[in-house]
Structure 1
């Protein structure tokens, strides 16, 4: 009887610990490949692949984490020059918005001689499921970045999206 009580107690304790684990386990991430820092809501994975941005071939390194089907990702690459890095921002935004058949609901862009930013919020559908894209695109010199959250609309709590996007920092 004592052994049975012990097993039940341990099982109950494990259930409580599991129930208390946070869905979002925020962690600081510093890229070893590009000069940025960001907070990811789960342990991220990284991969590099070649992409075509309006005729410019670049190797983009993507670091991403997923929570409840929502993807939190940062992509980083380098263009041959500053002008092409700035042009890449729009190309990335257009491709991502097109990917979910979205309509841009808000956008803002700024540019200077060696820096440009674009912020976008878009809604669309993928396979009949309502989707949302929230993104920040930035270039500094020849380097450019995409910081995005993409997922089912109901799986993207505003405070989590905001935390991720505003945590992205360049030196």
Structure 2
């Protein structure tokens, strides 16, 4: 019995108690996601290869790992694909990143066209190696970026997967 108690203690200690997953719905109800801690939100003007828009970024940081969702409206569904590529390029540039794996998909249904890009990249920030796992999505004229970034060894696959797979565009 004592051995079982000691084993249970070690197993629980191996969990990440600082990850306090909670459901978050954006203020305009355009997306929903699970954050690992209480997020904060800020907005700023950006230029996505000639498309000027306001990006709203909601993020939580746990340790050295950033979990963030960015949302922008490009005003025109025809501009979304190019703006999505510019969004990916800008994030990669922030870390001097190299893509180590990627996937792109497009689908059209009765609500319009949905374009997705998923990447895994490595780069540096402040001279330290970093990893970025990201999902980019265009739905009509809305763009989303769902990002996990931090030190290469700190990002656990299950945490990145939980965050990114929990993202759902609602509009």
The residue aligned with 2:152 is 153
Pick one of 31, 41, 49 that aligns with 2:36: 41
Higher gyration radius (CA): 1
Equivalent pairs, count: 152
- Higher helix share goes to which structure? 1
Q: Secondary structure in 1 aligned to 2:83?
A: helix
In structure 2, C-alpha distance between the alignment counterparts of 1:34 and 1:28, rounded to whole Å? 12
8 A Cα contact 1:71 1:151, kept in partner? yes
Point out the more displaced range, 29-38 or 64-73.
Answer: 29-38
- Extract unaligned runs of 5+ from structure 1: 1-19
| Runs (4+) off by over 4 Å | none
Is it true that 1:50 corresponds to 2:29 in the alignment?
A: no
Secondary structure at 2:79 match in 1: helix
Matched-pair contact (CA < 8 Å) for 1:74–1:147: yes
1:86-139 CA distances to partner (integer Å, 9 max, x unpaired)? 222111111111111111000111124521000000001122211001000001
Q: Per-residue displacement from partner, 1:23-72 (whole Å, max 9, x unpaired)? A: 10000001112511000000000011100110111001100000111110
CA-based RMSD of the aligned residues comes to 1.5
Residue 58 of structure 2 corresponds to residue 59 of structure 1: no
- State the alpha-carbon separation in 2 of the partners of residues 88 and 150 from structure 1: 21
Residue of structure 1 equivalent to 2:66: 71
Unaligned runs of 5+ residues in structure 2 are 1-14
TM-score where L is the length of structure 1:
0.84
- TM-score, normalised to structure 2's length? 0.84
Contact 1:34 1:76 in 2 (8 A): no
